[in-house]
Amino acid sequence: MSHPSPTVAPKVVLITGASSGIGEATARRLAAAGHHLFLGARRTDRLAALAEDIGARAGSAVPHALDVTDPTSVRSFVAAAHDRYGRVDVLVNNAGVMPLSRLDALRVDEWNRMIDVNLRGVLHGIAAVLPLMQAQRSGHIVNVSSVSGLRVDPTAAVYSATKHAVRALSEGLRQESRELRVTVISPGLTRSELTGSIGDSAVKGAVEGQMGIAIPAAAIGEAVHYAITQPADVDVNELVVRPTAQG
C-alpha cells in the first residue's frame, strides 16, 4: 500500500469479476488509494481471501457473492453495497469470459456464455446501479471491453461481437447521461485467467504463445484509477491499454 493518498474523497466502488486478474488488480489499486471496495464474483473463497489481504494492508474491501448472468444476483449485490455505504459512486463492469474458437467449430454453448457474461452481465450491472446514480445525480460506470472491441481476428468473432457491443452501449449511455460519467477501458494482451476459458486446445495454445508480451493486470487497474479520480466535470470516455509490442 505504497501509493499516495488520492486527491479526491474516497469513493464507494463496486467491482464485478473481482476474484482474479484485472478485477483483483483493480481492487488492490483502488484500495491502496483509499477507496471503499465492494467486490463481487462467484468464487467467494478467493474474494474473501482478497478482502482479508486488503484489510490487512489497511484497505477497505467487502466480498459478496455475485453471478452477473443473474439479474437478481446483480441487484442484490448492488443493494447490499448501497445498504452498507448509503451510496454507489462507481461500478466497474469487469466480469468476462473468452472461450475463443472458429465459428465453424460450432461451440454454441460457449457463444451463449460469452453473450451472457460479457454483454448481458454489463447490462445487468447498468440496470442495477442506474436508478441509484440518477437519484444521487452522480456516478461513474466503467465498462471493461477489449482491443477485440476495436478489431476482429480469426477465432474471436463472437468474443469481438460482445466487446463491440459493450463499446456501443457505453457510448449510448454516455450520450443519454449528463450527470453520470461513462468510461470504456479496452485492454490488449493482459496476464489474467481469461485463457483458461478457451476449450479449443489449438486456439488456447496459440493464444498462450502470444502471452510473452502481455502486460500485468495492474496496468489496467492503474487505468481505472486514472479514470475515476478525474474532476467531476471530466469524463474519460475511452482508454486503450495494450503492450507496446502488440500489433
Q: Can you give the residue ranges of every domain in the chain?
A: 12-241
Pairing state between β 90-93 and 180-187: unpaired
- Mean pLDDT, rounded, of the chain: 94
Element (H, E) at 92: strand 90-93
The pLDDT value recorded for residue 104 is 96
Reply yes or no on whether the pLDDT at 130 is more than 50.
yes
pLDDT tens-digit series, residues 193-226: 878 788 888 888 988 888 899 999 999 999 999 9
First-to-last C-alpha distance (Å) of the chain: 34
Model confidence pTM above 0.85: yes
Q: Starting from the edge strand earliest in sequence, which strands make up the sheet with 12-16, in order?
A: 60-65, 36-41, 12-16, 90-93, 139-144, 180-187, 238-241
Q: To the nearest whole percent, how much of the chain has pLDDT over 70? A: 97
What are the residue ranges of helices labelled H in 33-120? 44-56, 71-85, 108-114
Element (H, E) at 91: strand 90-93
The pLDDT value recorded for residue 7 is 59
The residues that are catalytic are 159
Instruction: Give the integer Cα–Cα distance in Å for 56 and 74.
Output: 27
- Rounded CA Rg of the chain: 17
**Nearest 5 degrees, angle CA 133-CA 135-CA 140?**
15
The pLDDT value recorded for residue 2 is 45
Q: To the nearest whole percent, how much of the chain has pLDDT over 90? A: 87
- The CATH topology of domain 12-241 is Rossmann fold (3.40.50)
The residue count of the chain comes to 247
Instruction: Give the integer Cα–Cα distance in Å for 142 and 44.
Output: 23
pLDDT tens-digit series, residues 6-61: 457 999 999 999 999 999 999 999 999 999 999 999 999 999 999 999 999 999 99
Instruction: Give the integer Cα–Cα distance in Å for 246 and 87.
Output: 39
Residue 190 DSSP label: B
- The average pLDDT across 108-120 equals 98
Reply yes or no on whether the pLDDT at 3 is more than 70.
no
- The average pLDDT across 101-125 equals 97
The pLDDT value recorded for residue 247 is 82
Reply yes or no on whether the pLDDT at 132 is more than 60.
yes
